[in-house]
Amino acid sequence: MATSKAKPRQQTSAWVENIKTVFYAGLIAIGVRTVAFEPFNIPSGSMIPTLLVGDYLFVSKYSYGYSRFSLPFSPPLFSGRIFGALPKRGDVAVFKYPRDTSVDYIKRIIGLPGDRIQVRQGQLYINGELCPRQREGDYLDDEYGVEMKRPMYQETLPNGVKHDILKEQDDSKEGDANNTREYLVPAGNLFVMGDNRDNSADSRFEATGFGFLPVENLVGRAEILFFSINAVHPWWEVWEWPFEIRWSRLLNRVH
C-alpha cells in the first residue's frame, strides 16, 4: 500500500521539477536577451553589401548601456540610458524606429552629437571634411532575383573606420540621396545611414526617412553573423536547403 501511494507523489514531484526547470531556463534566456545578446534578422537590403537579406546576427545589448528599449516590450519604466555610452562612428547598430518604436532598424552610425553632416554630389562630408572613398569594382546583386552589377566603394570615416558602400546613382544626379543640407546633430541624437546609399531610408531624409536618431532608441551593436540564408526556393523543397545557406558568411564579425 505504501508503495502504490508513493508513485503519484513521485510523479507530481517530477512534474513540479520539470516546470521549475523550464521556468528557470526561461528567466535565464530573458536575462541574457535583456542584458547581453539578442538575435536579429535582416529583412531588407538597406545595408548591402555589409549585411544581406536573410542574415541573422547577434547584437550586444551592453555596448551602449540600457534604455527602456532594452527590455522586452519596451515598458516605460524609466527614461534615458543606464550605464550609457555613445557609439563609435562607424558602428553598425540596431535601434527602434523613431516613428514606430515597435519596429527595429539597423544602420551605420555616421554622425555623433555636435557633428556636421552633409552629402554633396554623392559623397559624404563630416565636419567639413570629405570622407574619401576608393572604387572596389562591382557588386553582383541578385536580391530581387535579377542579377545586377552595382558600383562598390570602400569609404573611410574620419576615425579611420573603413567600410564598403554601394552607389547606384551617378554622383551628379539631383536628389536628396546625393545632395543634402548640412545637418548639425543635436545633443542626445545621432545621424545614421545605410551602406546601400541609394536604397536606404535614413537620417538624410527628414520627410520620408526619420531624421535624427535619439540615443535612447539604441538597442545594441551588431557583433557577429551566426546564420545566413538566401531563401529563393519554396520552403517545401527541403533538398535545396543546404545550397541556400551562405556558408562563407557564418560566424563573421560585422564591420
User: Mind telling me the catalytic residues?
Assistant: 46, 107
Q: Cell numbers of 52, please?
A: 544581406
Sheet with strand 37-41: strands edge to edge? 37-41, 55-60, 218-228, 92-96, 104-111, 189-193, 213-214
Distance of CA 193 to the CA centre of its chain: 11
Q: Are 210 and 202 in contact (CB under 8 A)?
A: yes
Expressed in percent and rounded to 5, the helix, strand and coil fractions of the chain are 20, 35, 45
The count of C-alpha atoms lying within 13 angstroms of the C-alpha of 226, restricted to the half-sphere facing its C-beta, is 10
> In the chain, which ranges are E strands?
37-41, 55-60, 92-96, 104-111, 116-120, 123-126, 129-130, 133-141, 148-156, 162-166, 183-184, 189-193, 213-214, 218-228
CB atoms within 10 A of CB 192: 25
- Asked, as a colleague might, if the bond just before 49 is cis with ω within 30 of 0, I would say yes
**Cβ-proximal residues to 90 (8 Å cutoff; 6+ apart), any chain:** 108, 109, 157, 159, 161, 163
